[in-house]
Structure formats: structure tokens, C-alpha cells
Amino acid sequence: MKFRTFFLCSLIISATLNANDGLNSEMSHFVGGAVMAGGISALSDHYYPEYRADRGMIGFGISSLVIAAEQGVEYLQHGDGKGQMLDAVSHIAGSALGAWITDRYILSPVIQNSTTQGKYVGLVFQYPL
């Protein structure tokens, strides 16, 4: 119930806000893209383990497609192609970083089969001599 109330209030508030092309706006798109791509990567890892080797690209791809579609709709409704492109590029850059960090450092490493290198794990252990 609390989530529904919060979601409804956020929709009402966001309908009255106006975005700009300032640093705060673009940073929010960057951080939103990172969180969205990281979340999609984690969900892909959890629900579709057969695609575990590609979870970072799945998170990045879906997040990028969603923002491209959303900014396309915004452009058709309001114009301002420069602003919409800046928002999309900021989000996509954040998506790349979020998917990469989630894939490489947050989720467990993956054993991959390579046709040239055989099986390998994405961990490196070093011992100083």
C-alpha cells in the first residue's frame, strides 16, 4: 500500500516538473541509467541463468532501448530534439557504466566457454613475490 501511494504521489509531482539541460538534470539521467541497467542485469542473471554470460549486454541493451523509445515519444510530443538527445546520451552512458559494474563486480563471476581459450573464470589471483 505504501508503494502505491508513493508511486501515485511521484506521478503527480513529476507531471508538474519541467526539466532543463543543466548538469543536475543530466546527472540524474546518468545515475538513472546506471541503476536501471544494473537492475536489469541482476534480474537477467536471476531469472534467466542460461544468458548469464551476456547479462551485462542485456541490461545495457534493454535500458538503452527503453530510453530511446521514451525520448522519441518526448520529442514527438514537445519537440526540442537537442534536449531529448542530450538526455538519451546521458542515460545510455550511465547504462553502460551500471551494466559493466554490476556484471563485473557486483554479481558473481561466470565460467565461460571460449572456442579459443577453453573454459575460464573471470577472476585473477596474484601473490606478491
Buried/exposed code over 16-25 (b: 16+ C-beta within 10 A; e: otherwise): eeebeeeeeb
- What is the pTM (predicted TM-score) of this model? 0.69
The answer to whether residues 19 and 58 touch, using CB atoms and an 8 Å cutoff, is no
Retrieve residue 40's grid coordinates. Answer: 536489469
The answer to whether residues 26 and 87 touch, using CB atoms and an 8 Å cutoff, is yes
pLDDT tens by residue, the chain, 129 residues: 554 565 555 555 554 445 567 888 889 899 999 999 999 999 998 899 888 889 999 999 999 999 999 999 989 988 888 888 999 999 999 999 999 999 888 887 766 677 777 776 655 556 677
Residue-range domain boundaries for the chain:
22-121
